[in-house]
Amino acid sequence: MSPNEPTIFFEEVNERQGAFHRRAFLLGGLMGAGLLTLTGRLMQLQLVEAGRYQMLSAGNQFNFRLVPPPRGRIVDRYGVELAGNRPIFNLLLARDEVSDPTATLELISQLVPLDDRRKRQLIRDLANSPRFVPVSVADDISWEEFASINVRAPELPGVTADVGETRVYPFGGAFAHVIGYVSKVSEDDLKKAGPNPDPIMLHPGFRIGKAGVEKSLDLNLRGRAGAQKVEVDSRGRQIRKDPKGDISAIPGKEVMLTLDADIQNRALEVFGDNSGAAVMMDCRSGDILCLLSAPSFDANEFVKGVTRADYQALASYDHKPLLNKALGATYPPGSTFKTMVALAALEHGVDPNRTYVCNKTWFWGGRLWHCDKAHGVQNMHGAISTSCDIFFYQTALGLGPDRIAAVARKFGLGDTFDIGVSGQRPGLIPDTAYKRRAFPKDPVWHPGETPSMGIGQGYVNLNPLQLCVQAARLANGQKAIMPRLVKSIGGVEQPSGAAAPDLPFAREHIDFVRAAMAAVTESGTAAATAQLGLGPVKMAGKTGTAQARGYAGGTGAHGARGAWLLRDHAWFIAFAPYDDPRYAASVLVEHGGFGADAAAPIAREMMRMALLKDPEVRKRIVQPEQEAPRIDPNEPAEGRAPELPSDTPAPADSGPGDPA
Amino acid sequence: MISSALTRPGERDRWVVKFGDIDWMLCALLCLVAAAGGLMLYSIAGSSWKPWAGDHLFRFGLFFGLMIVLSLVDIRVWFAMAYPIYGFGLLMLLGVEAAGDISLGAKRWLSVGVLKFQPSEIMKIGIVLGLARFYHALSAEDARFSWKLMIPAAMIGLPALLVAHQPDLGTAILLAATGLSVMVIAGLSLRLIALGVAGVGAMAPVVFMFLLHPYQRERLTIFLHPDSDPSGAGYHTLQAKIALGSGGLLGKGYGLGSQSQLNFLPEKQTDFIFATLAEEFGFIGCFSVLLIYSAIVVIALRIASISHSHFGRMSAAGITSTFAFYVLINGAMVMGLAPVVGVPMPLLSYGGTVMLSVMVGFGLVQSVRVHRYAEVTSGKGTLW
């Protein structure tokens, strides 16, 4: 404003006011610009990028909860369930909805058993747990308890019952070693799963196969996890379910094994308190019908999580219930190995009628070699049937280790088989090459080592599955059949063990050994204990009494005398029917004493079960002129021929004390 | 001057006249914002008056009454009380520094008997009053550029630093911004302003490195790189942006904002209430509220400009800028344009102390309007 201009209204308006007006306008303008900026930003966020943020918002709001898939069942060859699932009810307590935990727990304890210690523990857990993570009050409550909780639900705010599934093994221990068990996922399991494990592995309800078939076929049995769409809040607490958005779980594949639950259960039954293994195969197809290790343990306990005390008890028991003796332990095969020595001799032109004289002892190489008794003059047939050691010491000596080993290996001895279960120990069939490899300081095979090998001792160590394969190949007579455990996965048939090359031996030589094995049960070592009592259907076999400890110095005990741990291992390999073999078996009774007494009766009972279940064999047993009576395979003795033992003595009772 | 009844001596001192001179349009707009706040708080609580909405509206009613009472208080009383209030506020801040209660890691509260209050809120009024009082007695020449400007600089700097030390960066920024606006509006040399802006720009890294608390530095870092830590400290900003953006044009609907209803949004009832509004009412709702805020600012600035006393002009303008800064800082923070500092949206956010200081401030603005013709002198005997 020019001072010269006459002013009326602005006379009093001083410079300060003018400045104020200009500056107020400026400030107002700046604020307006600020507000415009905010508006612009709002438009950018809410109009331009709205879609992106709406997606992010939905991602916040909705969560997919993994749902563990139902694990595939494991069934036997006839569809009998060996491993299945059952519903499980868990009681959960949500901390933020419970005002008085003590009173609520008191009320719950009227419906579900809860002792005071557990209650105190739960109150501590509730106090320490994150607010929105429910605490598990009781795992696996019964359906009745679940129902009673649901009825009283209005009085129990914050108490929810969660329905899940748990693995169940209906036969408890009978299949524990072969099927294994599932358990909670461990750190190791996660590490093995690699850097990006299946997210279901982190689900608290998920169980992973820890042993046996459950472990080796875990991925097949597992299935694919489903997802449940739930609305959650920022703390992950579930607000609402949205069933329309659920993705259903894909159940795991059903695995059918070649096992026969009846045979395996029978085997466990007749094993009694003994320790050992029993394997049975269909000698035409190679299917494993029984793969038992005894004593066993209840796999169901391992699903829940076995207690330390229970585990300690299992681990420290000298009968080793946790060890799969059918695959994972090796033993000297004893006299069962003589079948191999005999075959090797025949293959190398030894005259089967050549005889040796057995006087109970034989002096050779500067020491005495023993036999069980003086068998007198023995040819090969007789020596197998009576299991004369003196004959086989000398026969083996004539052959040397390499020839015997070559034959034994053709029968699967010292071999492992791809049956879908890990943990097989190959054992050993020794030869000169082995001696060179394993004993650099003493690489030469000494002739003095051969006689022991001739009777299945010395370096020879084998597992029961191998002996069963040996028996099955002898029984088959033609093919080197392979054992098969997994019949089908998800309905897809697995390759059969029958598609195998022929055994490179003369048929008449194998027949010779088979005839000698028939004599074992007819008149030989097992004549008293290996009678099937099934009329024309007879079993052939070979006993074995394998030295577990050296006898010298009184540390080992021959037969069934002495301390359990020092006794001999009892073996029996068998096949039946003798004239048309269908089934082959091997039985090991650890420290059982004589094979004929301890192992043969078990093989006999298994064989009876298998034969009586076989309709074609039953036709032969039943007299043609009689009307076919009902024969219940579970009650083999009912109303049949007098030699059918109606009360089969448990091997534990008959074994010890009875001299061979 | 137009001859009218109001020019008669004493006429303007009548209570009825004073009452009629209150800006009722401003009152209505303030009520509108508070009602919007109540609406949102009701929604966030899951359609419940408790714990926030009832409180919020009750307090607003109480403080609205206080504003009306304060608007009838003579501007000369405000004038006389200006320095005492400023001084009292400063003393209280020093008291907090010496013996404040620690809450959430910061000393902000002072307990006097059963009363607990934040001296920084007194300072928001005190700094405006004190500066207005100072500039009232300062010539335009001196206000532009002189050594005397050291005094207002100190009057701003001292409380701002004390509050920043509590630490309450949001309020400190608010105090400093308000004070500087008052200085600018009083006619500070534009060259000096430019120099100051440049100086602040140059000092910023030093402040960042040495004067900020680690958590404040972290917030700034996250603001500059928002995606560096989406689940940690950047969570607030990200969730607020998701809430805003997902609202779209029309919003998800009242009570249906999943971000706020499901607790993804932090501080949804206080600092981030605008995001809740944005989520449930969309751009339309946000724009309307911003429009109301703008109208309040325009009306208050107009009240400042029609005052005949320099004290009245300066104090009304000071309060207006405080209010505007509240809106701008909170808005920028919620929208991810500024780092997260604890500045609420005035009258929309839940919180008693801020609402009290805002309403007392508008009492002052109303008083400036009611007493716009009053002659305010700094001479003796003008009051009491």
Per-residue pLDDT tens digits for A552-562: 554 555 666 67
- Is the pTM higher than 0.90? The answer reads no
Q: Which residues lie below 8 Å from residue B62, measured CB to CB, with a gap of 6+? A: none
Average the pLDDT over A627-653 and give the result.
Answer: 45
* B384 — pLDDT class (breaks 50, 70, 90): very low
pLDDT at B102: 58
Encoded amino acid at B122, one letter: I
Helix (H, G, I), strand (E, B) or coil at A59: helix
Residue A113's alpha-carbon distances to A143, A656, B311, in angstroms, are 14, 46, 79
Percent of chain A's residues with pLDDT above 70: 87
pLDDT at A484: 94
For chains A and B, CB pairs below 8 A equal: 144
Which phi-psi region, left, alpha or beta, contains residue B47 (left: φ > 0; alpha: ψ -120 to 50)? left
Reference B25, options B369, B374, B373, B371; nearest CA is: B369
Average the pLDDT over A409-438 and give the result.
Answer: 92
pLDDT at B258: 80
> In the predicted model, what is the mean pLDDT of chain B?
85
| Listed range (A130-139, A307-316, B31-40, B165-174) with the worst mean pLDDT | A130-139
Q: What confidence tens digit (pLDDT) does each residue in A284-322 have?
A: 999 999 999 989 999 888 887 788 888 898 888 888 998
In the beta sheet, which residues pair with residue A207?
A: A184
pLDDT at A236: 60
- Cβ <8 Å between B263 and A234: yes
pLDDT at A612 over 60: yes
Average the pLDDT over B290-300 and give the result.
Answer: 95
Cα-flanking dihedrals φ and ψ of residue B108, to 5°? Answer: -125, -20
A19 touches chain B (CB under 8 A): yes
User: β-strand A486-489 against A255-257: which pairing, if any?
Assistant: antiparallel
Length of chain B: 384
- Cβ <8 Å between A23 and B143: no
A36 touches chain B (CB under 8 A): no
Assigned token pair, B119: 């001296």
Rounded distance between C-alpha atoms, residue A145 and residue B261, angstroms: 36
Average the pLDDT over A268-288 and give the result.
Answer: 93
pLDDT at B224: 67
pLDDT at A139: 75
Rounded distance between C-alpha atoms, residue A319 and residue A323, angstroms: 9
* B7 — pLDDT class (breaks 50, 70, 90): low
| Listed range (A7-11, A194-198, A496-500, B101-105) with the worst mean pLDDT | A7-11
Reference A593, options A273, A274, A340; nearest CA is: A274
pLDDT at A511 over 90: yes
Average the pLDDT over A251-279 and give the result.
Answer: 93
pLDDT at A651 over 50: no
Average the pLDDT over A164-174 and give the result.
Answer: 88
Reference A276, options A574, A619, A586; nearest CA is: A586
* B126 — pLDDT class (breaks 50, 70, 90): very high
A439 touches chain B (CB under 8 A): no
Q: How far is B142 from chain A (nearest CA, A)?
A: 10
* B294 — pLDDT class (breaks 50, 70, 90): very high
| Listed range (A46-50, A123-127, A585-589, B144-148) with the worst mean pLDDT | A123-127
Q: How far is B311 from chain A (nearest CA, A)?
A: 11
DSSP structural state of residue A567: B
| Listed range (A55-69, A121-135, A168-182, A249-263) with the worst mean pLDDT | A121-135
pLDDT at A267: 93
Average the pLDDT over A148-155 and give the result.
Answer: 80
pLDDT at B382: 46
Q: What confidence tens digit (pLDDT) does each residue in A383-407 have?
A: 999 999 999 999 999 999 999 999 9
| Listed range (A62-76, A141-155, A537-551, B205-219) with the worst mean pLDDT | B205-219
pLDDT at A649: 43
Comparing CB atoms, the residue among B140, B301, B328 nearest residue A19 is B140
Rounded distance between C-alpha atoms, residue B178 and residue B173, angstroms: 8
pLDDT at B118: 79
Q: What confidence tens digit (pLDDT) does each residue in A518-527 have?
A: 999 999 888 8
Contact of A218 with A208, CB cutoff 8 Å: yes
What is the DSSP secondary-structure string of B154-221? HHHHHHHHHHHHTT-HHHHHHHHHHHHHHHHHTT--HHHHHHHHHHHHHHHHHIIIIIS-HHHHHHHH
* Higher local confidence (pLDDT), B324 or A365: B324
pLDDT at A638 over 60: no
Rounded distance between C-alpha atoms, residue A393 and residue A321, angstroms: 36
Contact of B129 with B86, CB cutoff 8 Å: yes
* Higher local confidence (pLDDT), B274 or B374: B274
Encoded amino acid at B339, one letter: P
B246 contact residues in A (CB cutoff 8 A) = 50, 53-54, 56-58
pLDDT at B106 over 70: no
Assigned token pair, A169: 């093994």
Q: Which of B:244-283 have CB within 8 Å of A? A: 244-249, 258-259, 262-264, 278-279, 282-283
Contact of B363 with B301, CB cutoff 8 Å: no
Contact of A311 with A291, CB cutoff 8 Å: no
Q: Which of B:309-338 have CB within 8 Å of A? A: 310, 313-314, 317, 321, 324, 327-328, 331-332, 335-337
User: β-strand A255-257 against A74-75: which pairing, if any?
Assistant: parallel
Average the pLDDT over B314-321 and give the result.
Answer: 95
pLDDT at B119: 83
pLDDT at A237: 64
pLDDT at B240 over 50: yes
Q: Which residues lie below 8 Å from residue A248, measured CB to CB, with a gap of 6+? A: A226
pLDDT at A436: 92
pLDDT at A231: 74
| Listed range (A18-32, A131-145, A380-394, A571-585) with the worst mean pLDDT | A131-145
What is the DSSP secondary-structure string of A103-123? HHHHHHHHHS---HHHHHHHH
Q: How many CB atoms lie within 10 A of CB A382?
A: 20
* Higher local confidence (pLDDT), B6 or A362: A362
pLDDT at A529 over 80: yes
A153 touches chain B (CB under 8 A): no
pLDDT at B110: 63
DSSP structural state of residue B31: H
B2 touches chain A (CB under 8 A): no
Comparing CB atoms, the residue among B143, B259, B301 nearest residue A28 is B301
Q: Which of B:144-203 have CB within 8 Å of A? A: 144, 181, 184-187
Rounded distance between C-alpha atoms, residue B331 and residue B344, angstroms: 9
pLDDT at A147 over 80: yes
- Cβ <8 Å between B263 and A27: no
> In the predicted model, what is the mean pLDDT of chain A?
84
Q: How far is B111 from chain A (nearest CA, A)?
A: 33
B304 contact residues in A (CB cutoff 8 A) = 20, 24
